[in-house]
Amino acid sequence: MTPGYIFKRASETLITVFFVITLTFIFLRALPGGPFDGEEGISLEQKRQQEAFFNLDQPMVIQYFNYLKNALMFNFGQSFRYANKNVSEVMADALWPTLEISLVSLFSAYLIGIPLGLFSVYLYKTRWDGVAVFFISSGICLPAFLVGPILILVFSLKLDWFAPALLEGPASFVLPVMTLGLRPLALVTRLIRASAVEITKSDFVRAARARGLSETKIYFKHILKNSLVPLLSISGSLGASIISGTFIVELLFAIPGLGNVLVDGVINRDYSLVIALAIFYTLLLVLLNLMMDLVLIKVDGRIVIK
């Protein structure tokens, strides 16, 4: 891992972020209708004043360069909707709930998915294999907006075990995490199953058997260890799956997180908020991918970087 490689990846990240800032700016500023059009009972003059306050009356090019300059210093300006709040403040408030449910979902997916995957390898070539495949595929295909409502209907409205909304106390995590984590869980299980089945057929497992190693030892030392490596490479898509999942889950369970803020911001045309969020999500995903690549290079000796 040379400094040159890290520099190359870092500059790629910067270019990507610059591109996203530009793209979001073009999309949102090109919209007809400003953020104050929907407000009732203000005169044209007051509207002008408000627009001048947020520098919306200046030429596009100047607005753009101002924005670029500020964004580089992580200053995303004021939110139009949330009174007297910086965009970064709005995001900081909403970040925590989203981070909590995302991380808990991701960890549960790994924690349950890896043993499940290995168990499904155990079922491979038995008549239960079809059932295992069916369940894994269901987990991947079930839309979050079907899982969430069914969980709410059964566990909070019928059985009254969990609250149907908001994040208050550990028990309230159960339903959102189940909704958010199901797809990542199924993806992890499918990947472990696929790579473990592949590894079972490989020469070194056959050699280990021939050497007379016990089945448990083969299972944990050879199969499990080697099937963990591909897990790293899908972390990017797991991250993306969780990010988009939070939009729905936060809406369903009324969690005041980033996903909710984004959907609101889009509807209310809260320009700076939406741009900041788009940059944030992109950065998150790029960094996640970068991190996983670096770890993968460390773990897998076969990868050669150019």
Partner 1 sequence: MRKSKALALFFLLLLLITAVAAPWIVRVSFEVQDANNILVSPNSTFWFGTDPLGRDLFSRVVYGGRISLGIAVFTTILALIMGGIYGGIAGFAGGRFDQVMMRFVDIFQAIPALVLMILVTVYFNSIRWLKDEEWHSIFSITAALSIGGWLGVARIVRGQVLQIREMPFVVSARGIGARPQEILMRHIFPHIVGPVLVILTAQIPAHISYESFLSFLGLGLHPPYSSWGVLAGEGWRTMRSSPHLIIFPGLVIFFTMMAFHFLGDGFRKTE
Which residues of the chain form contacts with partner 1 (CB under 8 A)?
Answer: 12, 15-16, 19-20, 23-24, 27-28, 30-33, 130, 133-134, 137-138, 140-143, 145-146, 149-150, 152-153, 157, 240, 243-244, 247-248, 251-252, 262-263, 266-267, 274, 277-278, 281-282, 285-286, 289
Distance CA 235, CA 223 (A): 20
Residue 164: Cβ within 10 Å count: 18
Closest by alpha carbon to 61, among 96, 25, 92? 25
Cβ distance to partner 1 smaller for residue 49 or 137: 137
Asked whether the beta carbons of 209 and 279 are under 8 A apart, the reply is no
Smallest separation, CB 209 to partner 1 (Å) = 27
Smallest separation, CB 20 to partner 1 (Å) = 6
DSSP output for 232-244: HHTHHHHHHHHHH
Angstrom CA distances, 255 to 179, 249, 275, stand at 13, 8, 21
Smallest separation, CB 105 to partner 1 (Å) = 16
Closest by alpha carbon to 21, among 58, 76, 60, 62? 76
Smallest separation, CB 276 to partner 1 (Å) = 12
Cβ distance to partner 1 smaller for residue 191 or 248: 248
Smallest separation, CB 58 to partner 1 (Å) = 21
Smallest separation, CB 195 to partner 1 (Å) = 16
Cβ distance to partner 1 smaller for residue 30 or 61: 30
CA torsion through residues 155, 244, 189, 173, sign: negative
Cβ distance to partner 1 smaller for residue 190 or 222: 190
Cβ distance to partner 1 smaller for residue 27 or 220: 27
Closest by alpha carbon to 229, among 292, 287, 296? 296
Cβ distance to partner 1 smaller for residue 243 or 292: 243
